[in-house]
């Protein structure tokens, strides 16, 4: 999937790389699921999955090569205990559970799933190693 950098992350990269402004890289990044693209670019998403045992999952990525990276291992979300809706987008974010976007959690990179996924009660969302691939073009 083509990666889209959030406005927040674009600004951090520009300030760090071109202005020498320090940026502390998150020690852990997390994968979040969304049912719409609304607000992802602006770091103010409104459609993150919630309830039904949903929680963001830690995500480790391979070293970048050729402008691309992918998850190094399988990512398995908890079994849904309620319908989560149709998951259309994912994002890498910098906090496990904070919910005040732009203050204590930020969208770093986001993208649309190749195929949307309806997640119903008792479903398990699993992304195999290498399935979550991001490229910057």
What is the structure's pLDDT at 76? 98
- CB neighbours of 14 closer than 8 A, spacing ≥ 6? none
Domain ranges for the chain: 4-135
What is the structure's pLDDT at 1? 72
Nearest residue to 74 (alpha-carbon basis) of 84, 90, 60: 60
Nearest residue to 60 (alpha-carbon basis) of 77, 76, 72: 72
Write down the pTM of the prediction.
0.94
The model's pLDDT over 115-134, given as tens digits with 9 standing for 90+, comes to 999 999 999 999 999 999 88
Stretches in the chain below the pLDDT threshold 50: none
CA dihedral 135→104→42→4, nearest 10 degrees, is: 0
Nearest residue to 34 (alpha-carbon basis) of 94, 107, 135, 136: 107
What is the structure's pLDDT at 71? 96
């Amino acid at each position: 999937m083509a990666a889209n950098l959030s406005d927040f992350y674009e600004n951090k990269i520009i300030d760090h790389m071109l202005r020498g402004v320090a940026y502390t890289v998150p020690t852990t990044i997390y994968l979040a699921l969304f049912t719409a693209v609304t607000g992802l670019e602006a770091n103010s998403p409104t459609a993150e999955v919630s309830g039904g045992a949903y929680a963001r999952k830690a995500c480790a990525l391979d070293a970048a090569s050729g402008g691309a990276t992918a998850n190094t291992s399988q990512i398995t979300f908890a079994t849904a205990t309620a319908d989560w809706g149709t998951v259309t987008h994912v994002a890498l974010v910098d906090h496990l559970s904070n919910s005040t976007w732009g203050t204590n959690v930020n969208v770093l990179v986001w993208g649309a799933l190749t195929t949307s996924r309806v997640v119903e009660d008792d479903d398990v969302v699993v992304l195999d190693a290498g399935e979550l691939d991001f490229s910057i073009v």
